[in-house]
Amino acid sequence: MQLSGKVAIVTGASTGLGRAIAGRYAAEGAAVVVADINDPEPAVAEILEAGGVAVGQRVDVASEDQVTAMVAEVISRFGQIDVLVNNAAVSASLKQQPFEDIDLHEWRKVMDVNVLGVFLCIRAVTPSMRARRSGSIINIGSGTAIKALPRLTHYVASKAAVHVMTRSLARELGVDNITINAIAPGYFLTEGNLGNPEFLALQRDIAVQNRSIPRDAYPDDLTGAAVFFAGDQSRFITGQILPVDGGSV
């Protein structure tokens, strides 16, 4: 129970890596807010059935008003926010393509959700974290931004922005005892990736071959790092980007 007494918001937690993180946080004793643009209730029900504490919040992280309202609701319900995991992103649905072919609408959507959304959520939670001089922010970046995966330029650029925001905000938030770190996952077999057969065929075998631990990665492989950055064991670690990829980077 490494997160007993903590309140954690996990964005994009209806499915995939976010759902696994939310479930593990609840199992570690946190009260979890499952925040997603899609129905959060099945993920909430799963946590409640396992004996955990969770509530759902419908939110578009790219909407300033919705993010502000979500944070106000969480504070009125729980009185505090200890952990924010910025996991929501446009990712699994994207098609690899030459950079000249990327549609500008899609480019802006990726930047809105993956970069502006992270900024808005951080900006909304920090006043209450600052007031309590305590908080852990975990951004989900990507190994693609370290390795420079081609043919997904908007996504890779958005995740590089997340990594650099993590480092620069660490220098702004540390004075108030707030840590901010990023996890850079490798290629995981989430529902979203399994539902994108074209990308799966391109990435799965290459990802496994490039790993020091040459096997597929599943959402449960990521949750330990997310618990570490949310808990007291990492209280003097900030501004770091941790690849969780079986030793690929």
Ligand X SMILES: NC(=O)c1ccc[n+]([C@@H]2O[C@H](COP(=O)([O-])OP(=O)(O)OC[C@H]3O[C@@H](n4cnc5c(N)ncnc54)[C@H](O)[C@@H]3O)[C@@H](O)[C@H]2O)c1
Residues that bind ligand X (CB under 6 A): 11-12, 14-18, 36-38, 59-62, 87-92, 113, 117, 140, 142, 185, 187-188, 190-193
Residue 36 · residue 63 · CB < 8 Å: no
**Residue 158: CB partners within 8 Å, gap ≥ 6?**
89, 110, 111, 114, 115
Query: Nearer Cβ to ligand X, position 57 or 234?
Result: 57
State the nearest-atom distance from the C-beta of 189 to ligand X, in Å: 8
CB atoms near residue 167 (< 10 Å): 15
Question: For residues 138 and 178, which CB has a smaller minimum distance to ligand X in the complex?
Answer: 138
φ/ψ of 2, rounded to 5, equals -75, -15
Residue 34, CA distances (Å) to 43, 55, 135 in order: 7, 6, 18
Sorted by sequence, the CB contacts under 8 Å of residue 143 that are 6+ apart come out as: 184, 185, 186, 187, 243, 245, 248, 249
Give the chain's radius of gyration (CA, Å).
17
Q: Which residue is nearest to ligand X (CB)?
A: 16
Q: Can you read off the two tokens belonging to residue 152?
A: 């997904």
Nearest-approach distance from CB 133 to ligand X, in angstroms: 28
Q: Least distance (Å) from ligand X to the CB of residue 242?
A: 12
Choose between 11 and 234: whose C-beta lies nearer to ligand X: 11
Active site residue 187: no
Residue type, 141: G
CB 144 → ligand X: shortest distance, Å? 6
Closer to ligand X at the Cβ: 30 or 241?
241
Report residue 161 as tokens: 């922005």
Helices (H) and strands (E) in the chain, counts: 10, 7
Q: How far is the CB of 170 from ligand X (least distance, A)?
A: 19
Of 16 and 246, which CB lies nearer to ligand X in the complex structure?
16
Exactly one of 25, 155, 187, 218 is catalytic; name it: 155
Catalytic residues: 155
